[in-house]
Structure 1
Amino acid sequence: MKRLWTPAWVVRHVAMVVLVVAFLALGWWQISRAASGNTLSWAYAFEWPIFAGFVVFVWWREVRLALRGDAAGADPSAGALADPSTGADPPTGADPPTGAPAPASDQPTGAVDGRPAVRRPVRAARVAVADGAEDGELAAYNHYLSWLNANPGAKPGDYPG
């Protein structure tokens, strides 16, 4: 909980309050403009409170993430697992219960709360090339590049092709 009162977090708290108050004030201003006959202001009157709600959502999410980081960092016991139902440590030499997180030494890099970090596979699209046939445009471009390499002082407009 101390982590939420560092100078950086105090700035975040103040920024959240200032933004929410400003966005709600702008929403109220748009409501007063819409009531006086500006129909476009009705859309803005609903938009500004949504922005304020988004600021609160992001702030709350960051607070929860910081507190979760404190809870994960508070247990320095390497490899000791507690039984979630009783809170007691397993006896020495016992296998961890099914579904329990792996010991800290067995966790992959990026693991959070005992769950391994999930990474999406990278897919590379491959373009089909005709068997033995060379792309004419690619060959011309490669010839152009080799000519530029052979003539370092030349301008692209000097290319004879």
Structure 2
Amino acid sequence: MKRLWTPAWIARHVAMVVLVVGFLALGWWQISRAVSGNTLSWAYAVEWPIFAGFVVFVWWREVRHALRGRETGAEPVTGPADPVTVGDGTSVSPVRRPVRVSRVSTVEVPEDADLAAYNRYLTWLNANPGARPGDYPG
């Protein structure tokens, strides 16, 4: 239970109380406005207590999560796993990384004339950094 009294948890407890009290006060304020004739305030009078309930729900869920996280006793893994020695004496990392395989198309696609002209234009612009696009000779 001591883990719920750290400075971070005290701030969470205070924030929960402040939000719940504030939301309930806003709901009461909306009820007083609704009684005086503002019909839209009836919707807000229902909405603010729902917000307060949501704050309590999230706070309770976080408290339960914090208490369960410590009960399991699972230590977080902080470093890479030790390498495994294979039969021939080489060490291999037990972490497998995905390998990217490039797929090269064997079908030959005819080159588009407009695309080739545009690529020549871009090559010329790259070769002549001070030139304007209107200076292109092609």
The two structures have a TM-score, normalised by structure 2, of 0.60
TM-aligned CA deviation for residue 133 of structure 1: 6.2
SS at match of 2:34: helix
Paired position in structure 2 for 1:61: 61
TM-aligned CA deviation for residue 144 of structure 1: 6.4
TM-aligned CA deviation for residue 42 of structure 1: 1.3
> Distance between the aligned counterparts of 1:50 and 1:60, measured in 2?
15
How many residues align structurally? 104
Paired position in structure 2 for 1:32: 32
> Distance between the aligned counterparts of 1:58 and 1:48, measured in 2?
16
TM-aligned CA deviation for residue 65 of structure 1: 0.9
- The structure where helix makes up a greater share of residues is 2
Q: Which amino acid aligns with 1:71?
A: E
Paired position in structure 1 for 2:41: 41
Paired position in structure 2 for 1:149: 126
Q: Which amino acid aligns with 1:149?
A: N
**CA displacement, residues 80-102 of structure 1 (integer Å, 9 cap, x when unaligned):** xxxxxxxxxxxxxxxxxxxxxxx
Give the greater-gyration-radius structure (CA).
Answer: 2
Structure-2 change in CA distance of 1:132 and 1:12 (3 Å): same
> Distance between the aligned counterparts of 1:43 and 1:53, measured in 2?
16
Q: Percent identity?
A: 78
SS at match of 1:57: helix
> Distance between the aligned counterparts of 1:9 and 1:137, measured in 2?
64
Structure-2 change in CA distance of 1:32 and 1:150 (3 Å): farther
TM-aligned CA deviation for residue 6 of structure 1: 0.4
**CA displacement, residues 42-79 of structure 1 (integer Å, 9 cap, x when unaligned):** 11111111111111111111111111111022x78xxx
- TM superposition outliers: structure 1 runs of 4+ over 2 Å: 131-154, 158-161
TM-aligned CA deviation for residue 159 of structure 1: 2.5
Q: Which amino acid aligns with 2:37?
A: G
The alignment yields a C-alpha RMSD, in angstroms, of 3.2
Paired position in structure 2 for 1:124: none
Paired position in structure 1 for 2:133: 159
Paired position in structure 2 for 1:15: 15
Structure 1 unaligned regions, length at least 5: 77-104, 106-130
After TM superposition, the structure 1 = structure 2 runs for residues 65-84 of structure 1, keeping only pairs within 5 Å, are 65-73=65-73
> Distance between the aligned counterparts of 1:34 and 1:136, measured in 2?
72
> Distance between the aligned counterparts of 1:132 and 1:72, measured in 2?
59
SS at match of 1:30: helix
SS at match of 2:39: coil
SS at match of 2:38: coil
